[in-house]
Structure 1
């Protein structure tokens, strides 16, 4: 199947792009190959398809994008392999050597192979548990379908449609302000023959598995303990917090603890929007593109750890060491200009895969740079990343990509310093507060890295980049993910001491995971067969809309989230408003005009609004309301011809 072949090409091309230092380390080579290969293949396919659509007027631009990029990748790989064969680097002897290396690697890494195998099974199970196809219907769990609504619409806009130049399907007719390349990749794989759930889940599994492989390798390198890498990943899945302890205490007093534990299907929380699942594994299940962004960030951090380690190993102590980080030539001069530029380009290319991950990664690198020599390398990386991001923004976005503003306190209701600190304690439990204690037991390298990992979380409490401050939770989650290694190091260190240390390690692990474990139980309950949204994968309505609307069309509908209309991949005038509003679109203006179109008694006013907003189709659903206003069909029916009626007569579409 072409979709699988495309993924294989991603790995093979990514391997050629991987530095030689990682090629004999499988837990580096696999994620690096997937990350870099995806960026190159993904952008290549998108840009060729864009040119085919805009310049050649191609109705199926992905055909040309895949033909040229997949064909080009095959030619490049064939050329490299033939060249190596002629040079004697690929032969029977070299093949036997490779087999020997693999056998040795298997013996030395048996534990890691088992661990990552279990991890792969767990991630695959959870991804398909919340998003899968069965009997021709696409099922999305209750805790995730809200995010999947715009994502599946975007996926279908590429696999079924011609979304070039790219628009946001829930707010069609304008630019795209939201990172969409991960959805483009899934859409391209569906176009190449993979079923939508397999396409989306496959790249999500590879992205999260790759990120966690890199996180494991970073933890092992930074702490010097492989066990810290394993335990850190456990802490990654099951968050720290005070919510479970308070929840249990309240229901013990009420006398209904066991009943509530058995019946509850909602995330627990006592801070604003904590019950959305802002802080647990559910984030990685519904925002699949975040893991891919973090994978790329990990690659950048792995490279720049060389700078940190060289600086941390310096012989100076105290203030003298710190002074040399700013007031010497070595503190500023470039060490590896080419590497710095390539890392910056890689991060910049990730901006429209997940912009929050890129910003968080640059913040961590800023922390590295403050305490490392070679500061101009960091500056070059940041500059290259920003330039590439701005170039993409100029292509995709009209106006400003972000609205930078000072916003103190994030979601804390009490904005005083004490109130914000109390909020952090309630949300994370001992996690962030306890790291201040862990800090004093670390050596210089560990302290530099711990402080740097805190930068994204600090950023979340001071700066807002979007109308919805809730999205800043990604920066806190980013810090949380990377800081797990230090708590893992602390727990493993305690375990090694004596029986008292082991008891303390178990208690620490329990405090750090029990809230997250209960959150995971809720994920399973809230996404079981009784808690899922279903939509027909290939309904007559979806097919009719896809086949009869062109890329320049705009359809007015009720404020749909996910249904057969959104699964057509065509552009909605005003879908569910939260998605578009949080991405920076003016949803209030469109909602007001849509309400007037659906409720007006004037044909002239109807025609004027429809023409002004460039709406080409109007969908009316039996008994519908819009913004709690009763809608009328008679004026629309007198003004425009009926072009579609569903079999049950519930849906009617008029062409303007």
Structure 2
């Protein structure tokens, strides 16, 4: 059933794209079709869930809706004329660089995804990579909770299932829907990511090709600069290489000591594939939509395709609960281009009307999401505050960006001066993002401003890549230009390549075999709405794999989401170390887990539970689950 739902979303997205973007090349139509499919898979189940909860029925209706939308877009009167199909699929030389670039990036990202997401070992434990060791457990908890409990709008399963989620949860509904329809948890997590990754890579390439006026070489270089490029962080590991080879090899063995993520030396400009797209689902799905929106915006603002403002408004309006940062970044860029159109057209109605219609449509769709969910979270302590110079804590201002972004940053000014008028404006439209992020922080974690900064960086890579190819062409006839180009490319990409290499060999056990077995019991033998008392370890299998509510999860998740968890966290310790029936009743605990994390984190009063409640699960190796619903309070 889940496979049929996937096919329905793909069919609906592609049919919509092929119907309304006839003037685009096949790559652009495939991109936009994939993006619409991604949006359908995330948004439609949520819309139906408002009626029936997040159930299999709601997800089947969502897939049916996508199927109907796709069928409505088919050219029913022209089925007998399919002569264009063979021509559509015929490979042209122009598309070879696209296929090679996007194919290479997809191969890298797909491989890392399959090795980093719940990879089982022979003993039954589940493994992750370096980048997914932190965030994946949280995403799994949201996904399994939605599918298991059917509650919608969703709540935090990591805080007793009582606090509404303000996090952009539409990055989870796609996988939760597939899981609810019977797909394996691992593949329901991975499958939507693969489509989104393809859309991100293809969207960036096509945007860069537009900026480069069709020059494939420039598009390839710009794409590599963004996804593989890095700063001068590699220098920290090449220093003293001859006397201490271990200084270099620790890139591949130490936890988060890479040329793009070396916090002790203030290197924070992480690789987009390793540290953003794979571990951060909101960023991945947000970029899939955002990059397509930027492509449409470029076509509409600079190439006269004003009819694209309508689909642009529809896609933009879906962004707040997919990735709020992407919505804000797109809004800033669009506002600057609106002001450009107003100045250029001297505020004539004809010049402003398309932008105003686009903005009105996007806001009509976005404002209900923002007021119902996003603003509720962002009003918490730590959100939206003044803070200077992003996450730089050690270096001079310019040196911080030079060593983090490298040659790409150094070449921004000459690249801007070299750019044509429309690319100058496009880069200028993204520049306020950098300025804003240098003075304002939007989340408790200051580092998270990079979700905005990378959109500015995307536009910078576009103009720098164009400059580098033009300089290379002007060096024609000069001996050694190939060596100069190779040296430049090495300086641009060495940090990124080393980071990708580190990620490829990383392997960490996320859930032990004992945790996996306990979670399987919880999922199969306890009610979906049951509340568990567990330790607050971030890799909590009861929450992540079984989809059950726990009293209090990891503070590293809850704090950065602006959730007040202090009372529940204090009660958690008391319930393990000084438990009473009254306290269990007060917090509505149904089951108590006692295992390695609980014994390691608390002085557990096991005698109380052993004499008071039945053991419903015992793996024979020290992991116990007590059913405490039989408590007597009096």
TM-score bracket, normalised by the shorter chain, equals 0.7 to 0.9
Q: Which residue does 1:585 correspond to in 2?
A: 563
Q: Contact (CA 8 Å) 2:157, 2:549: kept in 1 or not?
A: yes
- CA 1:79–1:204 in 2, change beyond 3 Å: closer, same or farther? closer
User: Is it true that 1:570 corresponds to 2:569 in the alignment?
Assistant: no
How far apart in 2 are the matches of 1:510 and 1:439?
23
For the residues of structure 1 that align with 2:546 and 2:321, how far apart are their CA atoms?
Answer: 23
Matched, 1:295 2:288: yes
Segment of structure 1 superposing worse, 264-273 or 349-358: 264-273
Give 1:629 deviation, angstroms.
4.5
The whole-number CA distance in structure 2 between the counterparts of 1:76 and 1:107 is 34
Contact 2:126-2:509 within 8 A present in 1 as well:
no
Q: Distance in 1 between matches of 2:51 and 2:240?
A: 60
- Native 8 Å contact 2:98 2:205 kept in 1: no
- Counterpart of 2:235 in structure 1 is 245
**Shift of residue 643, structure 1, vs aligned partner:** 4.3
Cα distance, 1:46 vs structure 2: 2.3
1:215: Cα distance to partner?
1.0
Match for residue 468 of structure 2 among 491, 494, 513: 491
Which of 438, 454, 458 is matched with 2:415 structurally?
Answer: 438
Aligned with 2:322: secondary structure?
coil
Deviation at 1:188, TM superposition (A): 1.7
Report the 3-state secondary structure (helix = DSSP H, G, I; strand = E; otherwise coil) of the residue aligned with 1:169.
Answer: coil
Counterparts in 2 of 1:76-95, with a 5 A limit?
76-78=69-71, 81=74, 84-85=75-76, 87=77, 89-91=78-80, 94-95=81-82
Q: Distance in 2 between matches of 1:46 and 1:237?
A: 31
- Between the aligned partners of 1:201 and 1:537, the Cα distance in structure 2 is 24
Q: How far apart in 1 are the matches of 2:628 and 2:56? A: 29
Q: Which deviates more from structure 2 when the two are superposed, residues 131-140 or residues 354-363?
A: 131-140
Deviation string, structure 1 residues 427-482 (Cα, Å, up to 9, x no partner): 22232232012111112111111222333333322212221112112222232234
- Answering whether residue 130 of structure 2 is matched by residue 142 of structure 1, we say yes
Residue 615 of structure 1, CA deviation: 3.5
1:652 to 625, 628, 631: 625
2:496 maps to what in 1?
516
Instruction: For residues 167-221 of structure 1, give each alpha carbon's deviation from its aligned partner in whole angstroms, at most 9, with x where no partner exists.
Output: 1222232111212222221122233343222222222121111111111111111
Aligned to 1:69: 62
Structure 1 residues 198 and 637, CA, compared in 2 at 3 Å: closer, same or farther?
same
SS in 1 for 2:428: helix
Shift of 1:251: 4.1
Partner of 1:169 in structure 2?
157
Cα displacement (A) at 1:551: 4.9
| 1:358-373 equivalence runs, <5 A | 358-373=327-342
Structure 2 CA distance for partners of 1:535 and 1:389, relative to 1, 3 Å: farther
Deviation per CA, 1:86-143: give whole Å up to 9, x if none.
x2x110xx2123223433x546534433443344333322221222544555321133
User: Conserved in 1, the CA contact under 8 Å of 2:313 and 2:359?
Assistant: yes
Q: Spell out, residue by residue over 1:366-416, the C-alpha distance to the aligned partner (whole angstroms, 9 max, x if none).
A: 3333333445654554454445334124545793445322222211115xx
Instruction: Return the TM-score normalized by structure 1.
Output: 0.83
Is 1:633 matched up with 2:633?
no
Cα distance in 1 between the residues matched to 2:312 and 2:336? 16
What are the ranges of 5 or more consecutive residues in structure 1 without an aligned counterpart?
A: 54-60, 312-334
Aligned to 2:86: 99
- How does the TM-score come out when normalised to structure 2? 0.86
State the alpha-carbon separation in 2 of the partners of residues 651 and 279 from structure 1. 41
The 1:47–1:108 alpha-carbon spacing in structure 2 relative to 1, beyond 3 Å, is: same
Query: What does residue 209 of structure 1 align with?
Result: 198
Distance 1:630 1:117 in 2: 53
Relative distance call for 1:397 and 1:430 in structure 2 (3 A) is closer
SS at the partner of 2:21? helix
CA contact (8 A) 1:642 1:655 kept: no
> Could you tell me which residue of structure 1 aligns to residue 323 of structure 2?
354
Number of the residue aligned with 1:544: 521
Q: How far, CA to CA, are the matches of 2:626 and 2:495 in structure 1?
A: 48
Structure 1 CA distance for aligned equivalents of residues 547 and 467 of structure 2: 49
Q: Is the 8 A contact 1:156 1:568 kept in 2?
A: yes
1:614 to partner: Cα distance: 3.6
Structure 2 contact 377–562 (Cα < 8 Å) conserved = no
Q: Which runs of 4+ in 1 moved over 6 A?
A: none
CA displacement 1:265-297 (0-9 Å, x = unmatched): 642355468678844531222113322211211
Cα gap change, 1:101/1:339 in structure 2, threshold over 3 Å: closer, same or farther?
A: closer
Cα displacement (A) at 1:501:
4.5
Provide structure 2 residue ranges, at least 5 long, that are not aligned to the other structure. 343-350, 630-634
